[in-house]
Chain A
Amino acid sequence: MARLIIEAGRTERQYWRDLWRYRELFAFLAWRDLLIRYKQTAVGVAWSVLRPFLTMLALTLVMKVSKLKGDGASPVPLFVFSAMLPWQFFSTALSESGTSLITNSNLISKVYFPRLVVPASSVITSFVDFLIAAVFMMGLMIWYHFTLPPPHQFAPPWNVVALPFFVLLTFGASFGVGLWIAALMVKYRDFRFVVPFLVQFGLYAAPVFIMTMDIPDKWRLAYSLNPIVGIIDGFRWCLLGGANALYWPGQAASLAGVAMLIVTGLWYFRKTERSFADII
């Protein structure tokens, strides 16, 4: 028979085993969020495609109006969208997982399960949106392959095989930040207002309209400390190639940043988790 000891500060020992035991709950929560997402909407799942499409239109317009050239070779919509792809995943995942504990507060105060399940399942939900947007990106690439006259025909470089790595990196970054925000928001609801700011300003801080190459060399490494910079660079390198070269010190900085976010996020989340039910 399973023996359970409840003591102040004791939960750590059973925690990781419990996390495994509750792996199905993790899937169920993600499944629930997907199910309810488009209930009672007229166009339903089409929103998942409409959203990235409209964003792409708007951003392309911004690029054209401000006479930005992107990387000079790839079609402008592809240039923007290759950055929007990870950015939207990152921003929705971090805002969804950031608010996830609050929106599930009835669960937190009434049943036990490792709380880590909640923000993690929100990241999964956002990942589904990412996949839909990725399919849209593929469509866009095929479109430019067939419609542009030779020799401008668009074709993705071989680097594309490295894409899963950068997807994983985005996963890590949004999970790390999401953990921090989720745990902080339980105590300080202020973060409900901070997150939209982060997302809004982040778009301009991220190299969506520009290439990281355009940043002066002395600032470039500092700029790359923002993990999303390395991620966007990586996505462009994989999807567009050409002038979008990888900046290795920047990549290393991004990787280190993501690792830091996850480790400290887990640490802070675990530290505050035991009091969630008391203060939520």
Chain B
Amino acid sequence: MSEPVISVEHLSKRYVLGHQAANGDGLRHALQNLLLAPRQWLSRRRERRQATHEEFWALKDVSFEVPQGDVVGIIGRNGAGKSTLLKILSRITEPTRGRIAIEGRVASLLEVGTGFHQELTGRENIFLNGAILGMSKAEIKRKFDEIVAFSEVEQFLDTPVKRYSSGMYVRLAFAVAAHLEPEILIVDEVLAVGDAAFQKKCLGKIQDVSSHGRTVLFVSHSMPTILRLCKRVILLQRGAVAGDGPAEEMTRKYLSSGTDRAAERVWAERDQAPGDDVARLHAVRVRNAQGAVTESIDISEPFEIEVEYWNLQDRIKPTVSIHFLNEDGVLLFVTNDFVNPQWWSSARRPGLVRSRCLVPAHLLAEGQFFILAALCTYNPDRLHALERDVVSFQTVDQHDLDRVREKYTRVWPGALRPRLEWKVEEI
């Protein structure tokens, strides 16, 4: 293993809460401050600070090292400290305690299009954004054509970006960032935007960066993306390192945190469950043919995805939508419980509802699958809850008989592996 290029030692970050809320920014305050004598003003400030003294440790004693050329994923639930860690690493904010040593030029991408100005043209924004990200004017000029080619917006280069579609905007913004050529790249969830084709291009670019011996720190909520890009993953939980190891192991640990298995997620408290005043998720489970909750599904047996939710309103008709994604992040298919005609036409009453989606045997290929569960209503279209990677499971192809691959034992490609009927005859 080569020398670490990033070493983080006992890093902690404290935020003082409430201070800003107490310090109103209204006109009343402005007038008060203007009229009150300076001495009074100072003493008032002191009081205020005492009254709202409340601490929050966003990071607690975090330590890790990253050797050169590694792509390390950082995962964790919202509020686990991922963003704070990235902000400290990119020097936007200072740590309260601890020390970080970094060898090499760092570029951090916490957002695509930081500093883009709506009124400026694409061309102008390339220069501005490049400078903000730390490129010199000469460097931007040198890479200008490459950036434009990558972004695919040549024809709109002299149009203000406020007239761009959101896709074009993101493409241009990422194109600038992708040409930074740092030794260490820090990336936050920036790939959650843009269309699938462009996302793929961006992921390719990041892989490209890492294959040139550069180090990448990558934060994402998308387990498939993490699995695809990173070999090593650091799992953060409530500001502390909860795990640091191989990506598969850590993503499983992440998915199962809160419950004992990745195949089940339960929100016991209704008020804390994802959702709104119409519907809230209660539980999502993967059950095998025997009805047991399990993360290991036999390819030759049917299984179920079970979603329980609180229906909180009379007459509104929430419906459950499930997305199946494979480990490359490819959305395989979407299915919705309104396909059940009886349920769809029935009157709704407030209470707990269980929707079960029956997946037939011989549909998915071998591998890891991730479920995105959502609650929505249609007409008007509204999204009430959406949880990515809420549960996950592996499919295994283990039976000796009754399988698609029969006696073929090597890799069987494809995201799906349906057992289709073949008619064969001699002619």
Binding site for B on A (CB under 8 A): 1-9, 11, 21-22, 24-25, 28, 31-32, 35-36, 39-40, 104, 106-113, 187-194, 197, 274-275, 277-279
With beta carbons under 8 angstroms apart, the residue of A9, A107, A190 that contacts B25 is A190
Question: A4, B106: Cβ atoms under 8 Å?
Answer: yes
Minimum CB–CB distance for A198 against chain B, Å? 10
Given contacts A1-B103, A187-B23, A193-B27, contact A28 B128 (CB under 8 A): yes
CB distance from A9 to the nearest CB of B (A): 7
- Determine whether B389 belongs to the interface, using a CB cutoff of 8 Å to chain A: no
Q: Annotate B86-130 by CB proximity to A: 1 below 8 A, 0 otherwise.
A: 011111111111111111111010110011010110001001100
CA A9 to CA B93, docked complex, whole Å: 11
Q: Are A107 and B131 in contact (CB under 8 A)?
A: no
B96 touches which of A8, A190, A277 (Cβ 8 Å) = A8
Docked Cα-Cα span, A4 to B27, in Å, equals: 43
B183 contacts partner chain A, Cβ-Cβ < 8 Å: yes
Q: Is the CB of B30 within 8 A of A11?
A: no
B25 touches A277 (CB 8 A): no
| CB-based nearest B residue for A112 | B91
Q: How far is the CB of A95 from chain B (nearest CB, A)?
A: 15
Q: List which B1-43 residues lie within 8 A (CB) of chain A.
A: 15, 19-20, 23, 25, 27, 29-31, 33-34
In the complex, which of the residues B15, B104, B110 contacts A2, with contact meaning CB atoms closer than 8 Å?
B104
Q: State whether A113 touches B25 (Cβ < 8 A).
A: no
Q: Which residues of A contact B211 (CB under 8 A)?
A: none
Of A6, A25, A189, A278, which is in contact with the most chain B CB atoms at under 10 Å from its CB?
A6
- B119 lies within 8 A of A6 (CB): no
| B100 x A110 contact (CB < 8 A) | no
Cross-chain contact B124 with A6 (CB below 8 angstroms): no
Could you tell me the distance in whole angstroms from the C-beta of A273 to the nearest C-beta in chain B?
Answer: 10
- Chain B residues with a Cβ closer than 8 Å to the other chain, count: 50
The interface centre, meaning the residue of B23, B88, B106, B131 with most chain A CB atoms within 10 A of its CB, is B131
CA–CA, A36 and B95, complex, Å: 36
B94 touches A9 (CB 8 A): yes
Q: Is the CB of B20 within 8 A of A279?
A: yes
CB-CB under 8 A for A5 and B99, given A28-B131, A112-B92: yes
Q: Are A36 and B115 in contact (CB under 8 A)?
A: no
Q: How many A-B residue pairs have CB under 8 A?
A: 122
A106 x B108 contact (CB < 8 A):
no
Say yes or no: A1-B114 contact (C-beta < 8 A), given A32-B128, A188-B23: no
CB of A39 within 8 A of CB of B103, answer: no
Interface residues of B (CB under 8 A from A): 15, 19-20, 23, 25, 27, 29-31, 33-34, 87-106, 108, 110-111, 114-115, 117, 119-120, 124, 127-128, 131-134, 136-137, 160, 183
With a cutoff of 8 Å between Cβ atoms, the chain B residues found around residue A40 in the complex are: 119
**Which A residues lie within 8 Å of B101 (CB)?**
3-6
| Main SS at interface, chain B | mixed
Residues on the B chain within 8 Å of A194, using CB = 30, 33-34
> Are B102 and A4 in contact, with the CB atoms below 8 A?
yes
A6 near B33: Cβ-Cβ < 8 Å: no
Which residues of the partner chain A approach B27 to less than 8 Å between Cβ atoms?
Answer: 193
Taking the closest CB of chain B, its distance from the CB of A199, in whole angstroms, is 14
| Contact call B120/A6, Cβ cutoff below 8 A | no
Say whether A8 contacts B95, CB under 8 Å: yes
Q: In the complex, which of the residues B23, B92, B104, B128 has the most CB atoms of chain A within 10 Å of its own CB atom?
A: B92
CA distance A39 to B120 in the complex (A): 9
Given contacts A6-B95, A112-B91, A190 and B29 within 8 Å (CB-CB): yes
Cβ distance A2 to chain B, nearest Cβ, rounded Å: 6
Contact among B34, B89, B114 for A111, CB-based, below 8 A: B114
- Docked-complex contact B119 and A274, CB < 8 angstroms: no
A155 to B246: give the CA distance in the assembly, Å: 81
Decide if A111 touches B133 in the complex (CB within 8 Å).
Answer: yes
Q: What are 6 inter-chain pairs, A to B, with CB distance below 8 A?
A: A6-B91, A6-B95, A107-B115, A111-B108, A112-B92, A277-B87
Smallest CB–CB gap between B120 and chain A, Å? 6
| Contact partner, A6, options B20, B29, B102, B115, Cβ 8 Å | B102
Contact A5 B132 (CB under 8 A): no
Q: Are B104 and A193 in contact (CB under 8 A)?
A: no
Which 7 pairs show the lowest CB-CB distances between chains A and B?
A: A189-B25, A193-B30, A112-B91, A6-B100, A28-B131, A190-B30, A4-B102
Q: In the complex, what residue of chain A is closest to B34 when comparing beta carbons?
A: A194
Distance between A226 CB and nearest chain B CB, rounded to angstroms: 18
| B293–chain A nearest beta-carbon distance, Å | 41
- B100 contact from A7, A25, A278, Cβ within 8 A: A7
Residues of A within 8 A of B89 (CB): 6
B91 contact set on A, CB distance < 8 A: 6, 11, 112
- Asked if A277 contacts B92 (CB within 8 A), the reply is yes
Which of B93, B99, B117 contacts A32, CB < 8 Å?
B117
Residues of chain B within 8 A of A277, CB atoms compared: 87, 92-93
